[in-house]
Amino acid sequence: MTKPMVFITRRIPEEGLAIIAQSCEVDLWPGELPPPREVILQRSKGVEGILSLLTDKIDAEVMDAAGSRLKVISNYAVGIDNIALAEATKRGIPVGNTPGVLTETTADFAFCMLMSAARRIAEGDRYVRSGRWKTWGPKLLLGQDIYEATLGIIGFGRIGRAVARRAQGFNMRVLYYDPMSAIDDEEAGIGAISTDLDTLLREADFISIHTPLTEATYHMIDNQAFSNMKSTAVLINTARGGVVDPDALYHALSEGRIASAALDVTDPEPISPDNPLLELDNLIITPHIGSASVATRNKMARMAAENLIAGLKGEKLPNCVNPEVYI
Ligand code: DGY
């Protein structure tokens, strides 16, 4: 029996590749960088499955290139903003993602960014390495306290809640804004209080973004949002760069309208090395590594592989973001 042909857009951990190789003919893009658009279009031709990364735009054109044999799209990420979901659903193509396995790892990272920005870790490191450390100073690199501060979480899904649980250990007051999930305090078990966005922006000392990127959340943190924040506020974004307007962020940071920011995601991504944001000392920036632990990336690979294989067999994907294709 001939094996189904699949296109995998980058080398994911072996744990996932091994599962796929058992039952598929694999076309694996070997590059360190994402395949260029024309390569995606070319190599998707006639495949039954696509395993994509968040860097690859999988839209109607790619689905057309694949043609009627395409049975499944499996994204190696929990976020699926790179995929034209409505288009896949219209065509009856199930789309898989990797929820759950990266929740705690990403929440750890968000908290780590929060603490680093609050206590100016990256600046301190640069200060020492550049030979500026001459003595202990009463006012040297003063930051903000985390314990008992107010944390505002935008997007109270799995990762947002996991961040809220971490905040308990610091006796923080936690506010959250999430029009999609109004769970009560009891259910959250973490004393988090649901509020509107303006109140959250006004009252939070730390604002951590955990919402997916959609039309509604694109640039939701804009000039107006920054002007509602405290001048001592710290913004953390480990979700998607597009949620924050980068020009508004630049003005807020360079004009001291907020204290600092820590970004693991940017708009666009990657950020250009000559972007003026990179000149600011009150910005910490990392290259989208929130879920980047060995164990988590292995689990994501396995999950993405299992989604792919299920779709090829015509079975329900273990993690499907458009289950309506089965109705
Ligand atoms: C995701 O999965 O969406 C993250 O951004 C990368 O792990």
Domain count, the chain: 2
- Answer yes or no: is pLDDT of 183 > 90: no
Instruction: Say if residue 110 is in the same domain as residue 250.
Output: yes
Q: Is 288 a catalytic residue?
A: yes
| Cα separation, 181 vs 234, whole angstroms | 24
CA–centroid distance, 130 to ligand 1, in Å, is: 34
**CATH number of the CATH domain containing 64:** 3.40.50.720
Residue 298 and residue 221 share a domain:
no
> Phi first, then psi: what are they for 151, rounded to 5°?
-105, 125
Active site residue 132: no
CA–CA separation, 22 and 20 (whole Å): 5
What is the pLDDT at residue 186? 47
Q: Whose CA is nearest to atom 3 of ligand 1?
A: 79
Q: Indicate whether 307 and 187 sit together in one domain.
A: no
Of 240, 297, 302, 306, which is the active-site residue? 240
Domain that holds residue 142: 103-285
pTM of the model: 0.96
- pLDDT tens per residue across span 212-225: 999 999 999 999 99
Q: How far apart are CA 48 and CA 106, in angstroms?
A: 31
Concerning whether 123 is annotated as a catalytic residue, the answer is no
The CB of 102 under 6 Å from ligand 1? The reply is yes
What is the position in ligand 1's atom list of the atom closest to the CA of 97?
2
Task: Determine the pLDDT at residue 162.
Answer: 96
Question: Do 205 and 274 share a domain, yes or no?
Answer: yes
- Ligand 1 lined by 291 (C-beta under 6 Å): yes
Nearest residue (by CA) to ligand 1, atom 2, is 77
For residue range 119-134, list pLDDT tens digits in order.
999 999 999 999 999 9
pLDDT at 245 over 70: yes
Output the CA 255–ligand 1 centroid distance in Å: 31
92 shares its domain with 12: yes
The dihedral formed by the CA atoms of 74, 181, 110 and 278, expressed in degrees to the nearest 10: 80
Closest by alpha carbon to 144, among 226, 230, 214? 230
The verdict on the CB of residue 213 being under 6 Å from ligand 1 is no
- 235 shares its domain with 157: yes
